[in-house]
A and B are shown apart, each in its own frame.
Chain A
Amino acid sequence: MLFDKPFWFKAIVARALRRVVAWGFVPLQEATTHLETATGMRKTPLNAVHRASGAKMVPFGGWDMPVEYSGLISEHMAVRKAAGLFDVSHMGEFEVEGPGALAFLQRVTTNNVARLVDGQVQYSAFPMPNGAPVDDVTVFRRAADRYLVVVNAGNIEKDFRWLQEQGPTGCDLRNVSDDYALLALQGPRAQGILQPLTSLDVPALRYYHFAETQVDGRAVTISRTGYTGEDGFEIFVAPADGEALWKRLLEAGADKGLVPVGLGARDTLRLEARMCLYGQDMDETTTLVEAGLGWIVSTDEAKGDYPGRALLAEQKKSGPPRKLVGFEVTGRGIARHGYPVLAQDERVGEVTSGTYAPFLQKNIGLCYVPASRAALGTELAIDIRERKVSARIVPTPFYKRPDKAAPAPAATATI
């Protein structure tokens, strides 16, 4: 290893290029090499398509996934200005069905599931008694007694075990992760690309709602959700239909600037939008309120008790001892996951996520700091390989998309 590598780096060392010491976005993974990806890695239904297209592949959460196709920056910009298509089939899906489904989900999540109507999605988390998440998840209400929960790829087994331990009563809990391919179509032109392929009235589908319909004759669930900070859709489809749908969407969007996008740009897009990545920005040691996710912590009386509720309610009321804040590097250098963060020469935390932000053309990141040091404008320093580089706490999200109501940019724009 070339740099003094602290435990948190868990770097992937590319054997093909010994000098590459860190792929900053791959958490919770033992050091491995690009060349070992073919063995022992799980593959999505689209794996062969990615490889045939020449995508650069990396291991991610036990999966062999495309990190980039044409280039990270151009993919990132395509999603901001036109549209991008992501294979996120590695995400996990659980079904919770039966008369006790709602009561069970209320017991194991932080957000109030009773507020959902049929066809609505809710961002939530599985909490532990210490107020930290086992995982962050989305809950889809198909019917009053039928729910789909989407979980992070690296946490599928852990989450399923956790839910089983919580004792699902009056409902069936099933891991149906292998029943779906999941494509994310994201960007300002996503709606225009999708509409001609479906009878669904796409503009009528509201943010964080979903519909069961067809795209190009294939049964799908379309959800107006994403992880990019742009308008867009996540499309669940049978694994056998995944490849055909992928190709059909790319074909339909080719003249609108749609390109395939890898996990590399997925990470930079979500970070510009200040969306947390489980395993980096939050884990089993950070409470949801500390992570800035108090808005998914319900203290409604009707919600009932769940692990960590009293602690989280207290932190919401009185403030948490530390906070996840966004910073901009004002000196020269790129902050990376795990780099120490200092305030007035005192070490106060470490970078949880950090990157060059392709749209903003700045170096940005997130870190936990004591609440007393979390004010906007606070000057910090990032220890970048033993060099102190100045940074400042800034408002987040770093990037906010232009008003949805604004007319789309002229179709002549080239990406």
Chain B
Amino acid sequence: MDPSDLKYTKDHEWVRVEGDKGTVGITDYAQKQLGDVVYVELPEKGRKLSEHDSFGTVESVKAVSELFSPVTGEVVETNTALVASPEAINADPYGKAWMIKVRLSDPKALAALMDAAAYGKFVASEAK
């Protein structure tokens, strides 16, 4: 079950909002679809992102996938430990494998994202 305190996108990213910051990663469903992750590329601090902007790349042995920002704002922190151990994306997608923290410039836009229940339904309909 996906954590209930997160918001989700149709691109299979999640965001956890604390104050004016959002922490972003990819979902358990996404990591399962990718398979064994062996490479991740994340943006520099200070990068300005709009919703849906590409902020990096994740690669499994056999697949290449772009990462899309679920939020608008400025990257204030990136998970450099993840770059050294990308396999954490398979092991702990909602924990150790967070990717970036973004200072949100438009927190209200988050209301348009899915909650865990809606995301669960979305994944079920995609997997059919």
**A15 B65 Cβ-Cβ under 8 A:** no
Q: Does residue A388 face the partner (Cβ distance < 8 Å to B)? A: no
Residues on A with C-beta less than 8 A from B67 are 19
User: Least Cβ distance of B26 to chain A in Å?
Assistant: 8
Q: State in angstroms the CA–CA spacing of A118 and B36 once bound together.
A: 44
Q: Would you give 16 A-B contacts (Cβ < 8 Å), ordered by A? A: A3-B64, A14-B63, A18-B11, A19-B30, A20-B33, A20-B63, A21-B66, A23-B63, A72-B60, A73-B38, A264-B62, A267-B62, A268-B61, A333-B39, A334-B59, A355-B62
Q: Does residue A140 face the partner (Cβ distance < 8 Å to B)? A: no
User: Least Cβ distance of A84 to chain B in Å?
Assistant: 15
**B64 A264 Cβ-Cβ under 8 A:** no
Q: Does residue B126 face the partner (Cβ distance < 8 Å to A)? A: yes
Q: Does residue B12 face the partner (Cβ distance < 8 Å to A)? A: yes
Chain A 10-26 near chain B by CB (<8 Å), digits 1 or 0: 00001111111111110
Q: Which of B12, B64, B128 contacts A21 (CB 8 A)?
A: B64
Of A19, A56, A333, chain B has the most CB atoms within 10 Å of the CB of A19
Q: Does residue B113 face the partner (Cβ distance < 8 Å to A)? A: no
Interface residues of A in 259-288 (CB under 8 A from B): 264, 267-268
Q: State in angstroms the CA–CA spacing of A16 and B62 once bound together.
A: 16
Q: Does residue A413 face the partner (Cβ distance < 8 Å to B)? A: no
Q: How many A-B residue pairs have CB under 8 A?
A: 76
**A68 B126 Cβ-Cβ under 8 A:** no
Residues on A with C-beta less than 8 A from B59 are 334, 356
Q: Does residue A71 face the partner (Cβ distance < 8 Å to B)? A: yes
Q: State in angstroms the CA–CA spacing of A35 and B125 once bound together.
A: 12
Interface residues of B in 49-79 (CB under 8 A from A): 54, 57, 59-68
Q: State in angstroms the CA–CA spacing of A385 and B57 once bound together.
A: 10
**A14 B62 Cβ-Cβ under 8 A:** no
**A334 B38 Cβ-Cβ under 8 A:** yes
**A67 B126 Cβ-Cβ under 8 A:** no
Q: Which residues of B contact A (CB under 8 A)?
A: 10-12, 29-30, 33-36, 38-39, 54, 57, 59-68, 126-128
**B39 A21 Cβ-Cβ under 8 A:** no
**B11 A72 Cβ-Cβ under 8 A:** no
**B33 A14 Cβ-Cβ under 8 A:** yes
**A264 B65 Cβ-Cβ under 8 A:** no
User: Least Cβ distance of A109 to chain B in Å?
Assistant: 32
- Known contacts A19-B12, A334-B59, A358-B61; A73/B66 CB under 8 A: no
Q: State in angstroms the CA–CA spacing of A334 and B12 once bound together.
A: 23
Residues on B with C-beta less than 8 A from A107 are none
Q: Does residue A224 face the partner (Cβ distance < 8 Å to B)? A: no
Q: Which of A17, A21, A73 contacts B33 (CB 8 A)?
A: A17
Q: State in angstroms the CA–CA spacing of A56 and B10 once bound together.
A: 21
**A72 B66 Cβ-Cβ under 8 A:** no
Residues on A with C-beta less than 8 A from B29 are 17
> Whose C-beta in chain A lies nearest to the C-beta of B128?
A35
Chain A 297-328 near chain B by CB (<8 Å), digits 1 or 0: 00000000000000000000000000000000
**B64 A67 Cβ-Cβ under 8 A:** no
Q: Which of B34, B39, B68, B126 contacts A20 (CB 8 A)?
A: B34
- Known contacts A23-B63, A73-B61, A355-B61; A17/B12 CB under 8 A: yes
Q: Does residue A256 face the partner (Cβ distance < 8 Å to B)? A: no
User: Least Cβ distance of A53 to chain B in Å?
Assistant: 16
Q: State in angstroms the CA–CA spacing of A196 and B63 once bound together.
A: 39
Residues on A with C-beta less than 8 A from B126 are 15-16
> Whose C-beta in chain A lies nearest to the C-beta of B10?
A18
Q: State in angstroms the CA–CA spacing of A15 and B123 once bound together.
A: 11
Q: Does residue A336 face the partner (Cβ distance < 8 Å to B)? A: yes
Q: Does residue A406 face the partner (Cβ distance < 8 Å to B)? A: no
